Amino acid sequence: MEPGRIRKLDETVVNRIAAGEVVQRPANALKEMIENSLDAKSTQIQVTVKQGGLKLLQIQDNGTGIRKDDLEIVCERFTTSKLREFGDLTAISTYGFRGEALASISHVAHLTITTRTSDSKCAWKASYIDSQLTGQPKPCAGNQGTQITVEDLFYNVSTRRKALKSGTEEYLKVAEVVGRYAVHNASVGFTLKKQGESAADIRTQPNSTVTDNIRTVYGPHVAKELLELRCEDTNLKFTATGYITNANYSVKKCVFLLFINHRLVDSTALRKAIESVYASYLPKNTHPFLYLSLEIAPELVDVNVHPTKHEVHFLNEEAVIEKIQQAVETKLLGCNASRTFYTQALLPGASIVSEETEESSGTSNKLSVAKDSKDKVYAHQMIRTDSRDQKLDKFFSKPEMKADDAEENLIDKSQQSSKNEETRREIQLTSVLTLISQLETNCHSGLREAVKDMTFVGCVSPQHGLIQHGNKLYLTNTTSLSEELFYQILLTDFSNFGALRLSKPACIYELAMMALELEDSGWSEADGPKEELASYIVSLLKSKALMLDDYFSLQIDEDGKIITLPYLLDDYVPGMEGLPMYVLRLATEVDWDSEQDCFQTFCRETAKFFSIRQNSLPNDEGCERGWQWMVEHALYPAMRKTLLPPQHFAQDTTFLQIANLTELYRVFERC
Ligand code: ADP
Ligand code: MG
């Protein structure tokens, strides 16, 4: 048989194969892009995906941006702003170093970059295929920072496309990457959402703490059982810091967040070593949550291993692992000892634990462990027989990553809410996006956490509620809370509202006349005749009808009648007695001239109208769904889910602490 002719592969094919090595799935590409955003000193990073990132993977940051002149070459291989000489390789402090990520992505997807530097008058937008610009960069509007859009990933690699059928599974990986970077970079605010959805699946605030973010991403159950870990060794030139769960906490699958020199990696060897310590503290087949940040002198890390960069090796791996293992053990022992003492004081004899209770009662009764631990052989005392154990595995190739409950929850949410993904309109107006980002920057992170966990206790009046958080009881101002909630919904669901049809169209002229009769309107002779004002209001609002209908589902007909109002929240109807004042204030309080101010003031006024007030009693008692029902079942649940409490809520009387149970208990103890 004739041997096959050896031919040189077409260059684009070579590039595509190489790119497939670097970018194996959406989460891979995302990781590279997050690292670029962090390198660019961003403090806000927003990720938006569609179909788990296969259809769309977008990342927006507020970092330094890319100079217009660099746009031409930024996607070429080995183009980087981060490395100039070979010597730099040994002292890398930024994440990227080989200038390969963007190039690779452009070979397997449609890539678009929109970016603006601080000294540029506008943003520039450029698209790429196979490392090359598809046309000259175009000027456009945009804030400082960079937005990278990756569409139709693997459109030209059918095998890879077929292998990654499930958007849900890819989404899980994407969420995992975002969640992990959010924990590790607590000073940066991260958001992850599915395109077209207003609620984010992950949202952390800038300037949070690591524990804040563990709570936000992995839930309060993990967060309340954390032990801080710190260990360093000057000889081995490494420092490890992090948080690990104590023996009260366990999950089905180990969750291990590992960063080496701030790069997300995975290490089976290290995980196994740590888990072997936990084996004697946790019930069988359960595992801890671990977050570790390992900093090793750059000259000891071999970063130049593989383009995927998940495999990182360092010198003295075994010795370092052993040190960390000891630190974990000391932590757990210390913690266990104090618990033993405490529990024994309550339950004498509890240290005699049978096999069964040990298994079923989880972790809290494992008092015998401390004594036995001397007999146990920990992994670090064992001799390793398999050299593969020493490898820092590729992060994404592990099948067991489905993992942890918190991460699983994300799938559930994605399945529930993906229904309307197709029909939603994406907000593109800079004005609205700016207002939304203001909500985020102005959010009080402590209050956000409290609101998320609050328990609704009851209504004092339509205006006031009682909530419990931790062991504190608060009197809440439901009016201002609901106003803020509706204001935020109006912005985040912008142009996606359903319509609330009035049973009878409401004549704006009559409403305006009614409002002018009210003392609250502040009308005086000097304002001119009421009829004239009312006619003016009708013509003003009619002239805005198209926009109001399109963006807010506020429909006004030819005759100047309101047909529909926006439908802002399921199971909630505003009190209609506020409608006359609302119409009047739309004319007097809304700034119709500048786009951003217009949306802001319009949303504010609409939110005021929707907020629950003293006399907004849509139904009297006896009716099935009166105001109390709406407050409990519509307003407070929605606040828990999405409300970003503005800073001033921490100072004003929105939350008034009226009791602290620990103090109460102390009082009782004295009696
Ligand atoms: P590397 O990060 O290894 O340098 P990449 O291909 O990931 O290579 O990125 C190429 C270059 O593009 C970077 O060196 C950087 O100058 C620029 N860049 C990429 N993403 C961003 C971003 N989000 N903000 C600012 N610059 C960026
Ligand atoms: Mg990079």
Q: Which residues of 460-496 are buried (b: 16+ CB within 10 A; e: fewer)?
A: eebbebbbebeebbbbbbbbbbbbbbbbbbbbbbbeb
Over residues 474-511, the pLDDT tens digits come to 899 999 999 999 999 999 999 988 888 888 889 999 99
Verify that 243 and 209 share a domain, yes or no.
no
Q: At residue 416, what is the residue type?
A: Q
Over residues 110-150, the pLDDT tens digits come to 999 999 999 999 999 999 998 899 999 999 999 999 999 99
- Which ligand is located closest to the Cα atom of residue 37? 1
- Which ligand is located closest to the Cα atom of residue 38? 1
Report strand pairing: 123-129 vs 238-245. unpaired
Residue at 404 is within a domain: no
| Ligand 1 geometric centre to CA of 95 (Å) | 10
Verify that 181 and 284 share a domain, yes or no.
no
Verify that 136 and 251 share a domain, yes or no.
no
CA distance 631 to 255: 38
How many domains are there within the chain?
4
Q: Which residue has the higher pLDDT, 3 or 103?
A: 103
DSSP string covering 60-129: EE-S----GGGGGTTTSTT--SS--SGGGGGG--SS--SS-HHHHHHHHSEEEEEEE-TT-SSEEEEEEE
DSSP string covering 366-378: -TTHHHHGGG---
Residue at 93 is within a domain: yes
Ligand 1 pocket mutation, candidates 102, 115, 303, criterion most atoms within 8 A of CB:
102
Domain final residue, candidates 180, 213, 246: 213
Looking at residue 323, which CATH number applies to its domain?
3.30.230.10
pLDDT of residue 261: 85
Residue pair 231/324 in contact (Cβ under 8 Å)? The answer is yes
Domain final residue, candidates 275, 309, 336: 336
Phi, psi dihedrals of residue 10, rounded to the nearest 5°: -55, 140
Residue at 3 is within a domain: no
Query: Is residue 193 classed as helix, strand or coil in its secondary structure?
Result: strand
Q: Is 83 in the pocket of ligand 1 (CB under 6 A)?
A: no
- 139: alpha, beta or left, given left = phi > 0 and alpha = psi -120 to 50? beta
Residue at 426 is within a domain: no
Q: Is 145 in the pocket of ligand 1 (CB under 6 A)?
A: no
Please tell me the residue having the least CA distance from ligand 1 atom 7.
101
Q: How far apart are the first and last CA of the chain?
A: 101
DSSP string covering 204-261: --TT--HHHHHHHHH-HHHHTTEEEEEEEETTTTEEEEEEEE-TT--BSS-EEEEEET
Verify that 277 and 372 share a domain, yes or no.
no
Residue at 265 is within a domain: yes
Q: Is 37 in the pocket of ligand 1 (CB under 6 A)?
A: yes
Q: Is 46 in the pocket of ligand 1 (CB under 6 A)?
A: no
Considering the chain, what is the average pLDDT of its residues?
80
Residue at 539 is within a domain: yes
Domain final residue, candidates 336, 371, 401: 336
Reported confidence tier of residue 9, pLDDT bands at 50, 70, 90: low
Reported confidence tier of residue 335, pLDDT bands at 50, 70, 90: low
Residue at 2 is within a domain: no
Verify that 224 and 207 share a domain, yes or no.
no
Verify that 22 and 157 share a domain, yes or no.
yes
| Ligand 2 geometric centre to CA of 259 (Å) | 16
Over residues 370-382, the pLDDT tens digits come to 333 344 444 333 3
Verify that 519 and 448 share a domain, yes or no.
yes
CA-based diameter of the chain, in Å?
106
The pTM for the full model equals 0.54
Kind plus residue range of the DSSP H or E element containing 577? none
Verify that 15 and 147 share a domain, yes or no.
yes
Percent pLDDT > 70 in the chain is: 74
Verify that 193 and 135 share a domain, yes or no.
yes
Closest CA to 112 of 130, 128, 88, 92: 128
DSSP H helices, 361-475, are: 369-372, 405-417, 430-441, 445-453
| Ligand 1 geometric centre to CA of 20 (Å) | 19
Reported confidence tier of residue 179, pLDDT bands at 50, 70, 90: very high
Residue 162 in this model has a pLDDT that exceeds 90: no
Residue at 133 is within a domain: yes
Residue 290: domain span: 219-336
Verify that 316 and 365 share a domain, yes or no.
no
| Ligand 2 geometric centre to CA of 71 (Å) | 15
pLDDT of residue 460: 87
Looking at residue 196, which CATH number applies to its domain?
3.30.565.10
Verify that 157 and 289 share a domain, yes or no.
no
Q: Considering only 196-205, 252-261, 497-506, which range has the smallest mean pLDDT?
A: 497-506
Kind plus residue range of the DSSP H or E element containing 655? strand 655-660
Q: Considering only 418-422, 496-500, 501-505, 537-541, which range has the smallest mean pLDDT?
A: 418-422
Verify that 452 and 369 share a domain, yes or no.
no
Ligand 1 pocket mutation, candidates 37, 64, 74, criterion most atoms within 8 A of CB:
74
CA distance 123 to 603: 28
